[in-house]
Structure 1
Amino acid sequence: MPFQPVDNRRLYEQVADQIGGLIRKGEFRPGQRLPAERNLAKMLAVSRPVVREAMIALEIAGLIEVRTGSGAFVREKPAEAAEAVNTGHSPSDILNARMLIEGETAALAASRATPEDLAAMAEWVDEMVREHDAGRPWRAADLGFHLAIARSTGNAALVSVVDRLWQEQHAPVFTLLSERVRLSDNWDATLRGHMNILDAIAGAKRSAARDSMRAHLRQVLDAMTGAEKKEPAGL
Protein backbone atom coordinates (compact mmCIF):
# COMPACT_ATOMS: atom_id res chain seq x y z
CA MET A 1 0.00 0.00 0.00
CA PRO A 2 1.34 3.47 -0.88
CA PHE A 3 1.38 4.84 2.66
CA GLN A 4 3.57 7.82 3.49
CA PRO A 5 5.16 8.48 6.90
CA VAL A 6 3.22 11.03 8.91
CA ASP A 7 4.79 13.79 10.98
CA ASN A 8 3.79 13.20 14.61
CA ARG A 9 3.26 16.93 15.11
CA ARG A 10 0.40 16.94 12.61
CA LEU A 11 -1.99 14.90 14.76
CA TYR A 12 -4.56 12.23 13.96
CA GLU A 13 -6.36 14.27 11.27
CA GLN A 14 -3.41 13.76 8.91
CA VAL A 15 -3.58 10.00 9.38
CA ALA A 16 -7.33 10.04 8.76
CA ASP A 17 -6.85 12.18 5.64
CA GLN A 18 -4.30 9.77 4.21
CA ILE A 19 -6.31 6.62 4.88
CA GLY A 20 -9.51 8.33 3.74
CA GLY A 21 -7.83 9.36 0.51
CA LEU A 22 -6.77 5.76 -0.16
CA ILE A 23 -10.31 4.54 0.47
CA ARG A 24 -11.76 7.06 -1.96
CA LYS A 25 -9.17 6.11 -4.59
CA GLY A 26 -10.16 2.46 -4.34
CA GLU A 27 -6.99 1.21 -2.68
CA PHE A 28 -9.30 -0.34 -0.11
CA ARG A 29 -12.50 -1.89 -1.49
CA PRO A 30 -15.94 -1.64 0.13
CA GLY A 31 -16.22 -4.32 2.77
CA GLN A 32 -12.45 -4.79 2.98
CA ARG A 33 -10.83 -4.94 6.41
CA LEU A 34 -8.18 -2.30 7.05
CA PRO A 35 -4.76 -3.41 8.33
CA ALA A 36 -4.52 -4.00 12.08
CA GLU A 37 -3.97 -0.95 14.27
CA ARG A 38 -0.41 -1.95 15.16
CA ASN A 39 0.45 -2.47 11.48
CA LEU A 40 -1.00 0.89 10.47
CA ALA A 41 0.96 2.56 13.26
CA LYS A 42 4.18 1.02 11.96
CA MET A 43 3.49 1.86 8.31
CA LEU A 44 2.51 5.43 9.11
CA ALA A 45 5.25 5.94 11.72
CA VAL A 46 2.85 7.11 14.43
CA SER A 47 1.70 5.78 17.79
CA ARG A 48 -1.22 3.39 18.13
CA PRO A 49 -3.35 5.97 20.02
CA VAL A 50 -3.00 8.30 17.00
CA VAL A 51 -4.23 5.52 14.70
CA ARG A 52 -7.10 4.77 17.09
CA GLU A 53 -8.17 8.41 17.05
CA ALA A 54 -7.90 8.47 13.24
CA MET A 55 -10.20 5.43 13.02
CA ILE A 56 -12.79 7.28 15.09
CA ALA A 57 -12.53 10.29 12.74
CA LEU A 58 -12.98 8.03 9.69
CA GLU A 59 -16.00 6.43 11.33
CA ILE A 60 -17.53 9.85 11.96
CA ALA A 61 -16.83 10.74 8.31
CA GLY A 62 -18.82 7.71 7.18
CA LEU A 63 -15.91 5.91 5.52
CA ILE A 64 -15.45 2.93 7.82
CA GLU A 65 -17.29 0.93 10.45
CA VAL A 66 -15.56 -0.52 13.48
CA ARG A 67 -16.69 -4.00 14.48
CA THR A 68 -15.77 -4.87 18.04
CA GLY A 69 -13.35 -7.77 18.08
CA SER A 70 -13.04 -7.86 14.28
CA GLY A 71 -11.43 -4.59 13.24
CA ALA A 72 -12.21 -1.66 10.95
CA PHE A 73 -13.90 -2.23 7.60
CA VAL A 74 -14.55 0.05 4.64
CA ARG A 75 -18.26 0.79 4.44
CA GLU A 76 -20.12 -0.76 1.53
CA LYS A 77 -21.10 2.74 0.43
CA PRO A 78 -18.37 5.08 1.73
CA ALA A 79 -19.42 8.70 2.13
CA GLU A 80 -18.40 11.09 -0.62
CA ALA A 81 -15.67 13.60 0.11
CA ALA A 82 -17.22 16.39 2.10
CA GLU A 83 -16.25 19.68 3.63
CA ALA A 84 -13.91 19.12 6.57
CA VAL A 85 -15.65 18.57 9.90
CA ASN A 86 -14.14 19.86 13.11
CA THR A 87 -13.78 16.61 15.03
CA GLY A 88 -11.77 18.27 17.79
CA HIS A 89 -8.29 18.05 19.18
CA SER A 90 -6.65 14.70 19.79
CA PRO A 91 -8.02 13.17 23.02
CA SER A 92 -4.43 12.30 23.97
CA ASP A 93 -3.36 15.91 23.48
CA ILE A 94 -6.28 17.20 25.54
CA LEU A 95 -5.55 14.90 28.46
CA ASN A 96 -1.80 15.56 28.33
CA ALA A 97 -2.54 19.28 28.40
CA ARG A 98 -4.83 18.77 31.37
CA MET A 99 -2.11 16.88 33.22
CA LEU A 100 0.30 19.77 32.75
CA ILE A 101 -2.10 22.59 33.56
CA GLU A 102 -4.33 21.00 36.19
CA GLY A 103 -1.37 19.39 37.92
CA GLU A 104 0.14 22.81 38.56
CA THR A 105 -3.29 24.24 39.34
CA ALA A 106 -3.79 21.63 42.07
CA ALA A 107 -0.35 22.39 43.50
CA LEU A 108 -1.19 26.10 43.64
CA ALA A 109 -4.56 25.30 45.21
CA ALA A 110 -2.77 23.43 47.98
CA SER A 111 -1.10 26.73 48.93
CA ARG A 112 -4.09 29.01 48.55
CA ALA A 113 -7.35 27.13 49.17
CA THR A 114 -9.47 28.56 52.00
CA PRO A 115 -11.81 26.50 54.20
CA GLU A 116 -14.66 27.74 52.00
CA ASP A 117 -12.84 26.54 48.87
CA LEU A 118 -12.26 23.12 50.41
CA ALA A 119 -15.93 22.90 51.39
CA ALA A 120 -16.93 23.67 47.80
CA MET A 121 -14.63 20.95 46.45
CA ALA A 122 -16.00 18.43 48.96
CA GLU A 123 -19.58 19.37 48.04
CA TRP A 124 -18.90 18.67 44.36
CA VAL A 125 -17.51 15.25 45.25
CA ASP A 126 -20.63 14.57 47.32
CA GLU A 127 -22.77 15.70 44.38
CA MET A 128 -20.94 13.28 42.10
CA VAL A 129 -21.71 10.44 44.50
CA ARG A 130 -25.39 11.42 44.78
CA GLU A 131 -25.78 11.59 41.00
CA HIS A 132 -23.96 8.32 40.44
CA ASP A 133 -25.92 6.48 43.12
CA ALA A 134 -29.18 7.78 41.64
CA GLY A 135 -28.17 6.47 38.21
CA ARG A 136 -27.86 9.94 36.75
CA PRO A 137 -24.95 11.46 34.75
CA TRP A 138 -22.29 12.90 37.06
CA ARG A 139 -20.19 14.73 34.47
CA ALA A 140 -21.40 18.20 35.55
CA ALA A 141 -20.36 17.55 39.17
CA ASP A 142 -17.01 16.21 37.94
CA LEU A 143 -16.42 19.48 36.09
CA GLY A 144 -17.59 21.44 39.13
CA PHE A 145 -14.89 19.78 41.25
CA HIS A 146 -12.11 20.66 38.81
CA LEU A 147 -13.35 24.25 38.41
CA ALA A 148 -13.56 24.64 42.20
CA ILE A 149 -9.89 23.72 42.40
CA ALA A 150 -9.02 26.29 39.73
CA ARG A 151 -11.11 29.00 41.45
CA SER A 152 -9.32 28.39 44.73
CA THR A 153 -6.07 29.61 43.15
CA GLY A 154 -7.53 33.09 42.74
CA ASN A 155 -6.43 33.09 39.07
CA ALA A 156 -9.40 33.67 36.77
CA ALA A 157 -7.35 32.78 33.69
CA LEU A 158 -6.72 29.30 35.06
CA VAL A 159 -10.46 28.83 35.57
CA SER A 160 -11.05 29.73 31.91
CA VAL A 161 -8.31 27.42 30.66
CA VAL A 162 -9.54 24.44 32.72
CA ASP A 163 -13.11 25.05 31.53
CA ARG A 164 -11.99 25.34 27.89
CA LEU A 165 -10.09 22.05 28.05
CA TRP A 166 -13.18 20.39 29.48
CA GLN A 167 -15.35 21.74 26.66
CA GLU A 168 -12.90 20.22 24.16
CA GLN A 169 -13.99 16.85 25.53
CA HIS A 170 -17.42 17.39 23.94
CA ALA A 171 -15.85 17.21 20.44
CA PRO A 172 -16.90 14.24 18.26
CA VAL A 173 -13.69 12.18 18.41
CA PHE A 174 -13.30 12.52 22.18
CA THR A 175 -16.99 11.76 22.73
CA LEU A 176 -17.12 8.66 20.51
CA LEU A 177 -13.84 7.29 21.83
CA SER A 178 -15.10 7.79 25.41
CA GLU A 179 -18.20 5.78 24.55
CA ARG A 180 -16.15 3.09 22.83
CA VAL A 181 -13.95 2.50 25.89
CA ARG A 182 -16.92 2.95 28.30
CA LEU A 183 -15.20 5.76 30.15
CA SER A 184 -18.32 6.45 32.21
CA ASP A 185 -17.83 3.04 33.85
CA ASN A 186 -14.55 4.32 35.30
CA TRP A 187 -16.39 5.36 38.47
CA ASP A 188 -14.32 3.76 41.24
CA ALA A 189 -11.01 5.07 39.88
CA THR A 190 -12.50 8.53 39.32
CA LEU A 191 -13.88 8.83 42.85
CA ARG A 192 -10.65 7.53 44.38
CA GLY A 193 -8.65 10.01 42.30
CA HIS A 194 -10.81 12.93 43.41
CA MET A 195 -10.54 11.96 47.04
CA ASN A 196 -6.74 11.74 46.79
CA ILE A 197 -6.60 15.19 45.19
CA LEU A 198 -8.91 16.71 47.80
CA ASP A 199 -6.96 15.18 50.68
CA ALA A 200 -3.66 16.55 49.32
CA ILE A 201 -5.06 20.06 48.80
CA ALA A 202 -6.68 20.06 52.24
CA GLY A 203 -3.35 19.03 53.73
CA ALA A 204 -1.56 21.88 51.92
CA LYS A 205 0.70 19.30 50.25
CA ARG A 206 1.74 20.88 46.96
CA SER A 207 3.70 17.96 45.54
CA ALA A 208 1.09 15.42 46.57
CA ALA A 209 -1.69 17.55 45.03
CA ARG A 210 0.23 17.82 41.76
CA ASP A 211 1.01 14.11 41.68
CA SER A 212 -2.54 13.09 42.60
CA MET A 213 -4.04 15.23 39.84
CA ARG A 214 -1.60 13.90 37.27
CA ALA A 215 -2.17 10.30 38.38
CA HIS A 216 -5.94 10.81 38.13
CA LEU A 217 -5.72 12.21 34.60
CA ARG A 218 -3.10 9.64 33.58
CA GLN A 219 -5.56 6.92 34.53
CA VAL A 220 -8.17 8.52 32.26
CA LEU A 221 -5.63 8.81 29.44
CA ASP A 222 -4.63 5.17 29.83
CA ALA A 223 -8.28 4.12 29.70
CA MET A 224 -8.76 6.15 26.48
CA THR A 225 -5.65 4.79 24.76
CA GLY A 226 -5.80 1.23 26.04
CA ALA A 227 -2.45 1.61 27.82
CA GLU A 228 -3.83 0.20 31.06
CA LYS A 229 -4.21 -3.17 29.34
CA LYS A 230 -0.49 -3.38 28.63
CA GLU A 231 1.34 -1.56 31.38
CA PRO A 232 0.68 -0.09 34.83
CA ALA A 233 -0.55 3.47 34.99
CA GLY A 234 2.09 5.97 36.02
CA LEU A 235 3.83 9.18 35.17
Structure 2
Amino acid sequence: MAQVVWRAEDRYRGGDEEAGIETRHAFSFSGFYDPDNVAFGLLVACNEERLAPGAGFAEHPHRDVEIVTWVIEGELAHRDSAGNETVIRPGDIQRLGAGSGVRHTERNAGEGPLRFVQMWLVPGAFGTAPEYEVVRGIADNTPFALPRTEAVLHIRRLADGERTALPRAPFVHVHVTRGRALLGGTVLRPGDAARLTGSEDTTVLRAEGGAEALVWEMHAEPRYG
Protein backbone atom coordinates (compact mmCIF):
# COMPACT_ATOMS: atom_id res chain seq x y z
CA MET A 1 0.00 0.00 0.00
CA ALA A 2 1.22 3.50 -0.85
CA GLN A 3 0.26 6.48 1.30
CA VAL A 4 0.66 10.20 0.59
CA VAL A 5 -0.37 12.89 3.08
CA TRP A 6 -1.42 16.40 2.04
CA ARG A 7 -1.42 18.93 4.87
CA ALA A 8 -4.01 21.67 5.31
CA GLU A 9 -1.34 24.37 5.08
CA ASP A 10 -0.16 23.03 1.71
CA ARG A 11 -3.56 23.47 0.02
CA TYR A 12 -3.78 26.04 -2.74
CA ARG A 13 -5.44 29.26 -1.52
CA GLY A 14 -8.12 31.00 -3.51
CA GLY A 15 -11.41 32.84 -3.18
CA ASP A 16 -12.21 36.53 -2.79
CA GLU A 17 -11.37 38.05 0.58
CA GLU A 18 -13.34 41.24 -0.07
CA ALA A 19 -16.41 39.16 -0.93
CA GLY A 20 -16.04 37.03 2.22
CA ILE A 21 -14.98 33.88 0.34
CA GLU A 22 -11.95 31.76 1.28
CA THR A 23 -11.18 28.57 -0.65
CA ARG A 24 -8.52 25.93 -0.04
CA HIS A 25 -7.97 23.54 -2.95
CA ALA A 26 -6.52 20.03 -2.62
CA PHE A 27 -6.07 19.54 -6.38
CA SER A 28 -5.36 21.73 -9.40
CA PHE A 29 -8.38 24.00 -9.68
CA SER A 30 -9.37 27.23 -11.37
CA GLY A 31 -6.20 29.37 -11.62
CA PHE A 32 -4.04 26.84 -9.81
CA TYR A 33 -2.45 24.10 -11.93
CA ASP A 34 0.03 21.42 -10.93
CA PRO A 35 0.39 18.69 -13.59
CA ASP A 36 1.37 16.22 -10.85
CA ASN A 37 -1.75 16.94 -8.79
CA VAL A 38 -4.87 16.93 -10.93
CA ALA A 39 -6.81 13.96 -9.53
CA PHE A 40 -6.78 10.90 -7.29
CA GLY A 41 -8.94 8.03 -8.42
CA LEU A 42 -12.23 9.60 -9.50
CA LEU A 43 -11.74 12.63 -7.25
CA VAL A 44 -10.78 15.79 -9.14
CA ALA A 45 -11.61 18.42 -6.50
CA CYS A 46 -11.78 18.55 -2.73
CA ASN A 47 -12.29 22.19 -1.77
CA GLU A 48 -12.64 23.56 1.74
CA GLU A 49 -14.86 26.63 1.54
CA ARG A 50 -15.36 29.35 4.12
CA LEU A 51 -18.09 31.92 3.52
CA ALA A 52 -18.88 34.95 5.67
CA PRO A 53 -22.54 35.65 6.50
CA GLY A 54 -24.34 36.65 3.31
CA ALA A 55 -21.41 35.70 1.06
CA GLY A 56 -21.71 33.22 -1.75
CA PHE A 57 -21.07 32.14 -5.31
CA ALA A 58 -23.09 33.73 -8.12
CA GLU A 59 -24.87 31.48 -10.60
CA HIS A 60 -22.40 29.37 -12.56
CA PRO A 61 -22.56 26.25 -14.76
CA HIS A 62 -21.40 22.64 -14.33
CA ARG A 63 -21.39 19.70 -16.72
CA ASP A 64 -20.48 16.00 -16.47
CA VAL A 65 -19.35 16.05 -12.85
CA GLU A 66 -20.78 14.64 -9.60
CA ILE A 67 -20.59 17.27 -6.85
CA VAL A 68 -20.91 16.13 -3.22
CA THR A 69 -21.09 18.71 -0.43
CA TRP A 70 -20.60 18.23 3.33
CA VAL A 71 -21.26 21.13 5.72
CA ILE A 72 -18.96 21.31 8.74
CA GLU A 73 -20.44 24.44 10.32
CA GLY A 74 -23.31 26.76 9.41
CA GLU A 75 -26.03 26.67 6.76
CA LEU A 76 -25.53 26.45 3.00
CA ALA A 77 -28.30 27.62 0.65
CA HIS A 78 -28.45 25.91 -2.76
CA ARG A 79 -30.55 26.94 -5.77
CA ASP A 80 -30.25 25.50 -9.28
CA SER A 81 -31.69 25.84 -12.76
CA ALA A 82 -33.69 22.61 -12.34
CA GLY A 83 -35.81 24.26 -9.66
CA ASN A 84 -34.17 22.74 -6.59
CA GLU A 85 -33.86 25.09 -3.61
CA THR A 86 -32.62 23.75 -0.28
CA VAL A 87 -30.62 24.59 2.85
CA ILE A 88 -27.91 22.10 3.85
CA ARG A 89 -26.73 21.77 7.45
CA PRO A 90 -24.11 19.69 9.30
CA GLY A 91 -24.86 15.98 8.96
CA ASP A 92 -26.51 16.35 5.53
CA ILE A 93 -25.04 15.12 2.26
CA GLN A 94 -25.90 17.07 -0.88
CA ARG A 95 -25.33 15.57 -4.32
CA LEU A 96 -25.60 17.50 -7.56
CA GLY A 97 -25.16 15.32 -10.63
CA ALA A 98 -24.51 17.95 -13.31
CA GLY A 99 -24.92 15.56 -16.23
CA SER A 100 -25.66 17.35 -19.51
CA GLY A 101 -25.58 20.70 -17.76
CA VAL A 102 -26.97 22.66 -14.79
CA ARG A 103 -26.48 26.08 -13.24
CA HIS A 104 -26.56 26.82 -9.52
CA THR A 105 -25.83 29.33 -6.78
CA GLU A 106 -24.49 28.75 -3.27
CA ARG A 107 -24.44 31.15 -0.33
CA ASN A 108 -24.20 31.37 3.44
CA ALA A 109 -27.80 31.25 4.64
CA GLY A 110 -26.97 31.70 8.34
CA GLU A 111 -25.88 34.51 10.62
CA GLY A 112 -22.57 32.90 11.52
CA PRO A 113 -19.61 31.51 9.56
CA LEU A 114 -20.10 28.73 7.04
CA ARG A 115 -17.55 25.99 6.43
CA PHE A 116 -18.08 23.15 4.03
CA VAL A 117 -16.18 20.63 1.93
CA GLN A 118 -17.11 20.24 -1.71
CA MET A 119 -15.87 17.21 -3.63
CA TRP A 120 -16.06 16.66 -7.39
CA LEU A 121 -15.89 13.23 -8.97
CA VAL A 122 -15.86 12.12 -12.61
CA PRO A 123 -18.96 10.05 -13.51
CA GLY A 124 -18.92 6.83 -15.44
CA ALA A 125 -21.16 8.20 -18.21
CA PHE A 126 -21.35 11.66 -19.76
CA GLY A 127 -24.30 13.65 -21.07
CA THR A 128 -26.85 12.07 -18.71
CA ALA A 129 -29.81 13.94 -17.23
CA PRO A 130 -28.98 16.22 -14.27
CA GLU A 131 -29.88 14.81 -10.83
CA TYR A 132 -30.16 16.27 -7.34
CA GLU A 133 -30.62 14.75 -3.90
CA VAL A 134 -30.08 15.49 -0.23
CA VAL A 135 -29.60 12.88 2.49
CA ARG A 136 -30.55 14.42 5.82
CA GLY A 137 -28.73 13.53 9.03
CA ILE A 138 -26.71 10.64 7.71
CA ALA A 139 -25.79 8.18 10.45
CA ASP A 140 -22.28 7.25 11.50
CA ASN A 141 -20.52 4.72 9.30
CA THR A 142 -23.36 4.78 6.77
CA PRO A 143 -22.01 4.32 3.23
CA PHE A 144 -23.30 6.66 0.54
CA ALA A 145 -22.89 5.00 -2.85
CA LEU A 146 -22.48 7.79 -5.37
CA PRO A 147 -24.77 7.08 -8.36
CA ARG A 148 -23.20 6.88 -11.81
CA THR A 149 -19.73 6.24 -10.35
CA GLU A 150 -17.68 3.46 -8.80
CA ALA A 151 -17.27 5.46 -5.59
CA VAL A 152 -18.68 5.26 -2.06
CA LEU A 153 -18.46 7.96 0.62
CA HIS A 154 -18.12 6.79 4.23
CA ILE A 155 -18.75 9.19 7.12
CA ARG A 156 -16.56 8.40 10.11
CA ARG A 157 -17.33 10.07 13.48
CA LEU A 158 -15.05 8.62 16.13
CA ALA A 159 -14.91 9.06 19.90
CA ASP A 160 -11.58 9.40 21.69
CA GLY A 161 -9.54 6.24 21.10
CA GLU A 162 -12.12 4.69 18.79
CA ARG A 163 -10.82 2.85 15.73
CA THR A 164 -12.33 2.16 12.34
CA ALA A 165 -11.10 0.00 9.49
CA LEU A 166 -10.79 1.81 6.18
CA PRO A 167 -12.28 0.30 3.01
CA ARG A 168 -10.19 -1.99 0.87
CA ALA A 169 -10.03 -0.39 -2.57
CA PRO A 170 -7.60 0.69 -5.30
CA PHE A 171 -8.04 4.31 -4.18
CA VAL A 172 -9.02 5.57 -0.70
CA HIS A 173 -9.07 9.26 0.17
CA VAL A 174 -9.32 10.29 3.86
CA HIS A 175 -10.11 13.93 4.68
CA VAL A 176 -10.27 14.97 8.35
CA THR A 177 -12.88 17.67 9.02
CA ARG A 178 -12.78 17.77 12.83
CA GLY A 179 -10.49 16.69 15.64
CA ARG A 180 -7.35 14.62 15.34
CA ALA A 181 -6.82 11.09 13.99
CA LEU A 182 -3.95 8.66 13.59
CA LEU A 183 -3.42 6.72 10.38
CA GLY A 184 -0.66 4.30 11.20
CA GLY A 185 1.94 6.56 12.81
CA THR A 186 0.76 9.68 10.94
CA VAL A 187 -1.26 12.38 12.71
CA LEU A 188 -4.06 13.97 10.68
CA ARG A 189 -5.64 17.26 11.78
CA PRO A 190 -8.54 19.27 10.30
CA GLY A 191 -7.91 19.93 6.62
CA ASP A 192 -5.29 17.18 6.33
CA ALA A 193 -5.88 14.37 3.87
CA ALA A 194 -4.33 11.00 3.09
CA ARG A 195 -4.36 9.34 -0.33
CA LEU A 196 -4.04 5.56 -0.12
CA THR A 197 -3.36 3.39 -3.15
CA GLY A 198 -4.13 -0.31 -2.74
CA SER A 199 -5.41 -0.07 0.84
CA GLU A 200 -5.70 -3.26 2.89
CA ASP A 201 -8.28 -4.62 5.34
CA THR A 202 -5.89 -3.92 8.19
CA THR A 203 -5.64 -0.18 7.46
CA VAL A 204 -7.06 1.56 10.56
CA LEU A 205 -7.94 5.15 11.47
CA ARG A 206 -7.92 5.97 15.22
CA ALA A 207 -9.23 9.13 16.88
CA GLU A 208 -7.31 11.11 19.46
CA GLY A 209 -9.80 13.18 21.42
CA GLY A 210 -12.55 12.59 18.86
CA ALA A 211 -12.53 13.07 15.10
CA GLU A 212 -14.69 13.27 11.98
CA ALA A 213 -13.45 12.15 8.57
CA LEU A 214 -14.80 11.85 5.05
CA VAL A 215 -13.54 8.63 3.46
CA TRP A 216 -13.88 7.99 -0.27
CA GLU A 217 -13.69 4.40 -1.48
CA MET A 218 -12.99 4.41 -5.24
CA HIS A 219 -12.70 1.46 -7.59
CA ALA A 220 -11.85 3.23 -10.83
CA GLU A 221 -10.07 6.12 -12.47
CA PRO A 222 -11.70 8.55 -14.91
CA ARG A 223 -12.56 7.17 -18.33
CA TYR A 224 -12.94 9.75 -21.06
CA GLY A 225 -14.23 9.26 -24.58
Please classify the TM superposition score into its range, dividing by the shorter chain length.
under 0.3
TM-score, normalised relative to structure 2? 0.26
Higher percent of residues as strand: 2
TM-score, normalised relative to structure 1? 0.25
- For the pair shown, which has the larger CA radius of gyration, 1 or 2? 1
Higher percent of residues as helix: 1
